[in-house]
């Protein structure tokens, strides 16, 4: 089993940490808040305040932060503290150009970087069925796969560094568009006197069904799911817009659907 450094033991990260420990790995977890460190220590983990402490003895470093801005802030210190030959894997949904900059810095210290964005929920992590996409060279990806298999099934190697994150951004943009379409369909169902619950029951066994419909069904309905998920989808849509500008692509129809739907996910952007 490996020594794993972990940054970001929050809503998604904490069940990852639990699964890693249950699989026999030694996990050193960075937590900024003293309360969080006490909780992790009480649960049997090594919890540290400084990211460099989490990195110092790691063989694999897993980063599960909320945003690209947080990754950009913390990653340089992490990379500089990691031992030579270590692999850093980022679960963050952010910009491919950020990964390229981190990989460049890592190479100066013989540290490999793998993009490892995820698709799923905390419940999927606890059940060991989170989808993890992996972009990078074969050996670093194998090393990361050995670690994330504690909570990932499947773990899919998409190709070179950056391909996993690009695939995840397309996935998230499509998911947000599907959420907007389902929310609009829910409004139409109410107008027609069908009701959201009946609509979801129909979609569950009909051709118009989707993963967002499944999530809505178990979270109390379309409106309830939209309210819960909108902040996370909006963050990912913003990441998609940034990446689209940086990569010079214009996925206009998807952005148009996301911008025009009833959920507060985005505003029209003429650049994309």
pLDDT tens by residue, 206-245: 999 999 999 999 999 999 999 999 998 998 899 899 899 9
Name the pLDDT band for 267 (thresholds 50, 70, 90): low
Average pLDDT over every residue of 124-146: 98
Which residues, at least 6 apart from 272, have a Cβ–Cβ distance to it below 8 Å?
241, 244, 245, 250, 251, 252, 255
Report helix angle 96-107 to 163-191, nearest 10.
160
Q: What is the mean pLDDT of residues 77-87?
A: 96
Higher pLDDT, 115 or 270: 115
Q: Higher model confidence: residue 112 or residue 252?
A: 112
Among 90, 53, 96, which residue's Cα sits nearest to residue 70? 90
SS3 154: strand
pLDDT value, residue 192:
97
Match 């996370």 to its residue by tokens.
Answer: 232
Determine the pLDDT at residue 251.
83
């Amino acid at each position: 089993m490996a020594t794993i450094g972990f940054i970001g033991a929050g809503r998604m990260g904490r069940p990852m940490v639990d699964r890693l420990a249950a699989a026999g790995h030694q996990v050193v977890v960075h937590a900024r808040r003293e309360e969080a460190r006490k909780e992790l220590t009480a649960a049997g983990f090594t919890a540290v305040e400084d990211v460099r402490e989490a990195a110092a003895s790691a063989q694999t470093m897993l980063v599960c932060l909320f945003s690209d801005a947080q990754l950009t802030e913390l990653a340089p210190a992490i990379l500089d503290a990691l031992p030579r030959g270590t692999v850093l894997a980022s679960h963050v949904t952010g910009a491919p150009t950020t990964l390229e900059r981190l990989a460049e810095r890592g190479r100066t210290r013989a540290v490999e970087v793998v993009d490892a964005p995820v698709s799923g929920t905390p419940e999927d992590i606890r059940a060991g069925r989170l989808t993890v996409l992996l972009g990078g060279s074969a050996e670093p990806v194998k090393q990361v796969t050995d670690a994330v298999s504690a909570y990932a099934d499947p773990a899919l190697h998409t190709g070179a560094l950056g391909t996993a994150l690009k695939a995840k951004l397309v996935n998230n943009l499509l998911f947000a568009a599907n959420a907007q379409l389902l929310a609009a369909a829910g409004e139409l169902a109410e107008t027609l006197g069908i009701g959201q619950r009946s609509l979801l029951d129909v979609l569950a066994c009909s051709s118009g069904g989707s993963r967002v419909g499944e999530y809505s069904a178990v979270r109390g309905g379309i409106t309830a799911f939209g309210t819960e998920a909108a902040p996370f989808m909006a963050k990912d849509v913003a990441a998609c817009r940034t990446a689209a500008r940086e990569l010079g692509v214009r996925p206009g129809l998807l952005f148009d659907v996301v911008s025009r739907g009833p959920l507060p996910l985005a505003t029209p952007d003429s650049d994309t």
